Structure 1
């Protein structure tokens, strides 16, 4: 999503099986965000009438939509908390931990972590995020691999 000056913020990174646009289908308001695909993507488009017809017929779909909305609301709550209470350093650290997955006891972010994208997630400049990432590397908290993946050292999860 971008403001009138063209500054962008990344609200979420979606994966296969995720969905977007359900809020507009429910409340008839305009979309609250812009979606951009970074890779070739196949999508199913469901109109408002079909969506409204599916909900009462498929309670599992209704429940899945509710779970998704709650998950996004909790994520938004964490984002608000981070922006209000954490400095850029803390926001970068928290975001790295949220992006990481466990792989044989090691926390790793397999995809390349772009400083520009990280800046858009945490609400900071690319330069500031670069300084924080460099400091985390120098302190041995993270290790950036040649392929761009990031390993988060065990002590980082305890701090």
Structure 2
């Protein structure tokens, strides 16, 4: 079974990774989310379209009703790092709500799949939250969880080699909604380039790591379809 060994830079079978992308425990039937959705505008986006541009004015919070989005940042030369995948039940664009300034957006948000979101202005959000204080806790809970995941990612970049980071990423991806059950584990679809954008390395380096994992009998790879053995 593929696992991450945090005591060294390699792989081990002693520490399977938990789900780093948990779904929001709040169901849409919750009164505070009902109030949010009643006040929000619903918008649909095709896959690969851009919902938020880095540098845009920060004035709205979003809630994912359907589908998945990718949060990413890029440098001046256009190199990208994927920060997170967000799914149904997740808020995004919330951070400026809790800041005194109104700086522009710092990250891009793009539709990973066809998706539907509920968009609510910050001013309207504050009105709704004044009557439904649970809404603040729901958003704050997700912010705290993302901070935990960001801390883990910083730790990975500092203490895991590329093989360890790729292994952790594959395990993370088996917990995403679009992962499929396979007789030998979980099947995912992702390109080497996209894995590189998550772990911070080249596509060629990802290819070499995947070849090693295949040789070790931990995964199978056919194009962008991969099976991570022993996962569920």
Superposition TM-score tier, normalisation by shorter sequence: 0.7 to 0.9
The count of residues paired between Structure 1 and Structure 2 equals: 153
* Greater mean alpha carbon deviation, residues 36-45 or residues 115-124: 36-45
1:11 correspondence with 2:83: yes
Q: Which stretches in structure 1 are left out of the alignment for 5+ residues?
A: 155-159
Matched residue, 1:89? 163
Higher relative contact order (CA 8 A, sep 6+): 2
Q: Please give the per-residue CA displacement for 1:41-72, whole angstroms capped at 9, x wherever unaligned.
A: 22211111011112232122111111100110
Structure 2 gaps, min length 5: 1-72
Match of 2:220 among 119, 124, 143: 143
Displacement of 1:80 after TM fit? 0.3
Partner of 1:127: 204
Q: Give the corresponding residue for 2:154.
A: 80
TM-score by length of 2: 0.60
- 1:115 aligned to 2:192? yes
Deviation of 1:145 after TM superposition, in Å, equals 5.7
Q: Deviations over 1:44-103 (max 9, x none)?
A: 111110111122321221111111001100110010001111110111111112222395
Distance in 1, matches of 2:111 and 2:126, equals 26
Q: Normalization by structure 1: what TM-score?
A: 0.85
Larger strand share, 1 or 2: 2
Deviations 1:97-151 (A, max 9, x none): 222239599642x430211111000011111011101110111011236781422
Which deviates further from its counterpart, 24-33 or 78-87? 24-33
Matches within 5 A, 1:43-82: 43-82=117-156
